[in-house]
Structure formats: structure tokens, C-alpha cells
Amino acid sequence: MTKAEELYEIFIYHKIEEWDDLLKNLGKVNEKDIHGFLKIMEEREYSSLSMHSGNLGDFISHILKICYVGKTLHINTEALNGNIAVGYGLDWDGVIYVDGKIHGGAAYAMKKGEVIINGNVTGYVGFGMEGGKVVVKGDVGGDVGNQMKGGCIEVYGYVDQTVGRWMTGGEIIVEGDIRRDVGLSMENGCVFVNGDMQDDVGYKMSGGVIIAMGRLNDDKDLGKDMQGGVIYFEGDFKGDIGDGMEGGVIIVNGDIADIGLEMSDGVVVVKGDLTIKDMESILDMWIDTALGGVVVGGGFVYTGKWSNE
């Protein structure tokens, strides 16, 4: 029996909690052995990866921690039909290249290293991530950077769920559109979005930076209940800005059609025109012509030109 076949037998017949001891008893496992193991998996079209916790990434990570530091691993997922996770708890300085779709998640609690996925990911990316870098050259079906603490995530395609939710550090770059919230309850870090956003941006955000270059649906909110941090929005926006805002800074490089109510603190900078639709509904507001802005509650909206429809 070859070393690759031995690895395969261990994967099939032993539970995940036993892998550490079993792998230590195998001795050194080299690149050829790992590629051989993956080749066997593909040839036998083993489609029950969801059995033993469903994480091929777990198994690979156990091998890497023991004998595969500072190397490069290539994975082809086309023949792997079950649920898998890549980079699960990854804590090594190598690179994992993945060709094909990931039916599962990527980079859960990842600490260092790099994962490059040349395909779509159906689940989360970077949940609880602490370091390293993940690049997804396709779409993501789950959350991106949920509870992320550090590291970098790049997504070239569309994201179907939230981005940067409860994020406390790190950097997220999304080139495509995002369907759900951006920066929900975000505490620190940076989110850069080049595509369009279909849900709220910066809701209950208390720190960090969001740079939004695309459009935001007009029925959504920008910086609602925001407590701190900075949002930079490129373009015009007709929805509410800073509604219930308690702190932080919102910069809009375009025209806006309204400002939010109950703004108790914070600053909104409008580089275009400000149109206040319903001035009577904003009870605590006055115009400061010397400073060139509108005071709303305890907050301040700087604008070069304003009008009331």
C-alpha cells in the first residue's frame, strides 16, 4: 500500500478527532504523497465528504501542520461532490490553489498563509479570520468576513450575503455586487466595494472604514444608527443618510436627496447638492451660513449648496 493509499484509508475509516495521532504515526508526508491522495479521491469519485464532519480542508490542514510548511498545494475539486472546507484554521505559510467550485466554506478562523480559489464558493469566506489572505475569483454564496479579526479577503464576483458583519479588523475587497448588508455592526477594519449594493451600508457601525464606489438602492440606508467610523460613498444617493446617527463621518461625493432624522452626533460631508424634502419633519435643524452647512440635532451636515423642495 502506498502512502497516498494509506492516507485515503485513514480518511475513509477514521473520525476527525483521531486524525492528529494517526498522521503523527505516519511520519513525514511529502508533496507527492498528498497529490497522490487527492488523485485517489478524484479517481474513486468519493462523494460522501459530508460524512466525517465534511471537511477535506480539515484533513489537509492536519497534514500541513505536521509536514507541509512553506510549500504550495494544488486542489482540483471537480470530482469532489460532497461538502468541503478549504483553509479551515489554516496556520502555515504556504499557498493553496483551488481549481473548481467549493461546495462549502473557505478560510474559517484562518491565521496565516494564502488560499486562491479559481471558482465559486457556495458558503462563507473568512468567518472569524485572523490573518493570511483569501482570493475568490468567482461568486460567494455566504457571508464574507463575518467576525473577521485580521487578514485580507478579495472577491472578484458577486456576494449573496453580508460583507464585514461584526468585523473587528482586516481588509475586504469586493469587485462585484453585494445583495445583503455591508459593514453591519462593524467595529474596525476596512471594506472596499467596487460593485453595487442592494442593502444597508454601515448600519450600527461603530468603527472602521467603508469605501463604496458603486450604487446603493434608494430604498436603503447609508450610515443608519452609525456610532463611529468613516463611510465614503462615491456618487449620488436619494435614500436616507445618517438616520439616527450618533457618531462617525459620512462623506458623499455626489448629490443627496435627504438627510436622516434623529441625528444626535456625527458629521456628514456632501460634496454635491443637498435637497431637504421635508424640512418640517426635522424639528431640531438650523442653517449655519458661515460654516456652510446644516445643523441637525447634535450633528452637522456640510454642503456647498442646499435647497428645500
The single-letter DSSP state of residue 71 is: -
pLDDT tens, per residue, the chain with 309 residues: 776 676 666 666 555 555 556 555 555 556 566 666 666 655 554 433 333 334 455 555 544 444 344 456 666 665 444 455 566 666 667 777 787 788 778 888 888 888 898 999 988 999 999 999 999 999 999 999 999 999 999 999 999 999 999 999 999 999 999 999 999 999 999 999 999 999 999 999 999 999 999 999 988 999 999 999 999 999 898 888 888 888 888 888 888 776 766 666 677 877 777 666 554 444 444 444 444 445 444 455 665 555 555
6 domain-assigned = yes
The answer to whether residue 232 sits within a structural domain is no
The whole-number pLDDT of residue 248 equals 87
188: Cα separation from own chain's centroid: 13
Per-residue confidence (pLDDT) for residue 106, from 0 to 100? 84
Domain assignment of residue 145, yes or no: no
The predicted structure's pLDDT at residue 275:
66
Q: What is the pTM of this model?
A: 0.76
User: Residue 147 in contact with residue 128, Cβ under 8 Å?
Assistant: yes
Q: For 41-53, how does the pLDDT look when each residue is reduced to its tens digit (9 = 90+)?
A: 555 544 333 333 3
Q: Tell me how many helices (H) and strands (E) the chain has.
A: 4, 18
Specify if 304 maps to a domain: no
CA distances from residue 100 to 8, 84, 119, 197, 281 in whole angstroms, order as listed? 21, 12, 5, 27, 54
Beta strands in 156-290 (DSSP E): 168-174, 188-193, 209-212, 221-222, 230-234, 240-241, 249-253, 267-276, 285-288
The number of domains in the chain is 1
Closest listed residue to residue 210, CA positions, set 264, 163, 177, 265: 163
Whether residue 114 lies inside any domain: the answer is yes
What are 284's three cell numbers?
Answer: 431640531
Amino acid at 61: S
- 215 burial level (CB within 10 Å; 0-12, 13-18, 19+): middle
The boundaries of the domain holding residue 112 are: 1-119
- In-domain check, residue 256: no
User: Which run of H or E residues covers position 105?
Assistant: strand 104-106
Quick one: what percent of the chain has pLDDT higher than 70? 57
